[in-house]
Amino acid sequence: MAGLRIGFAVNIRTTARGAVGVHRVYEDVLDTIVHAERAGLDSAWIGQHHFDNTDGPFPSPLVFLAAAAQRTDRIVLGTGITTLPFEDPLRLAEDAAVLDALAPGRIQLGLGTGGANLDGFRAFGLEPERRHAIFAEKVQRLHHVLDGAPLDDRGDGPRLFPSGDGIRAALWQAATSVDGARAAARAGDGLQQGAFFDPADAGQRPKVEAYLDEWVAAGRAGSPRVAIFRFVYSGSSKEAVVDEVEPVLGSRLTLLAERAARSGNESLRGLTVRDYLDLVPFYGSSDDIAERVRADPAIAAGATDFVANFSHAGEFDADDVRARIDVLAGRIGPAIGWRPAREVRDAVG
């Protein structure tokens, strides 16, 4: 696993609603991304969450990543995911292209159907049952725009500015089926697989394998990209982690199980906190988590990126997340053969 890139995902909860309170949360997250870059992590990912009925205060992730780009120099910044059915593909392409011009080569655009925010579809005037069809239509349009094709049906209209070349090579799809994974490969996009809506063995591994097979069959140039996102709870031992997270996570399991079930995964219903930790996230000591990474079926199938999602059910605690980043970069990563980006850069220089 020496070639595996390691990043972290910002998935936070906050009760802040006013501009002043949200400003403090955003500043804490920006400072945490700076900390992750200094620790040597390869990437930082923001999930798009709309409205006050979902976790995470990032309805406009590209706006936020523009601020992160101005505070950092090297770390890759991505969305995991942007809910494509809610977006106009042309406007999304323009925003992403401008951001890519501000931080060349550092922006990654992950796309998904919005299965974690089904309640938000009505607000956008959309039917959640059509999310896969809407996604398919819009991702085709997005590819067309970023490929530099004329933007009207006459074939001689204007084209995207700035150029979409950089973003076109930095698209990812969070495929929810084997067919979707194959489509992502044919398009030359990366494949993202999330933390718990889909079992790693029976659900995600077949999609990773299908994606890699299709990449070769389609004769795609370049290298395939597979990012596996996993919740990570690090501590001195498994028992210590259970004791730490049970008071806050226990009350959240019913909601998590319901969201997973609405996306087709019934395996979380009726679980205790210990059951949930054994089934889904990576938890325990650094050695425990490193072993879990090595054994994960989806990662072993051909992942290029491992993304740790530090999500506790309480308010965002920047000091806690930064401490976990230090464990990820200083202990877990090296245990699976990864080297911090600053060490790789120094060795090359």
Distance CA 147, CA 169 (A): 10
For position 189, what pLDDT does the model report?
Answer: 98
259 phi and psi, to 5 degrees?
-65, -40
Question: Taking a C-beta distance cutoff of 8 angstroms, is the pair 42, 342 a contact?
Answer: no
Cβ count within 10 A of residue 98: 15
Strands 43-46 and 5-10: parallel
Q: Tell me if the bond preceding 85 is cis, omega within 30° of 0.
A: no
Give the global pTM: 0.94
Split at pLDDT 50, 70, 90, the class of 348 is: very low
Q: Which fold has domain 5-348?
A: TIM Barrel (3.20.20)
DSSP state of 123: G
Place of tokens 């051909």: 302
Q: Per residue in 253-290, is it b (16+ CB within 10 Å) or e — as a string?
A: beebbebbeeeebebbeebebeebbeebbbbbbbebbb
Q: CA of 30: how far to CAs of 2, 10, 72, 219, 287, in Å?
A: 28, 10, 9, 39, 29
Q: In sequence order, what are the residues at sequence separation of 6 or more whose Cβ sits closer than 8 angstroms to the Cβ of residue 287?
A: 335
Query: 107 versus 261: which is more confidently predicted?
Result: 107
Q: pLDDT, tens digit, for every residue of 302-343?
A: 999 999 998 665 678 899 999 999 999 999 999 999 999 866
Condensed to tens digits (0 to 9), the pLDDT of residues 93-104 reads: 999 999 999 999
Q: What is the pLDDT of residues 262-307, one digit of tens each?
A: 767 777 788 898 988 888 889 999 999 999 999 999 999 999 999 9
- Contact between residue 200 and residue 296 where contact means Cβ atoms under 8 Å apart: yes
The contacts of residue 176 (CB under 8 Å, 6+ apart) are 113, 115, 132, 198, 263, 264
CA distance 293 to 224: 20
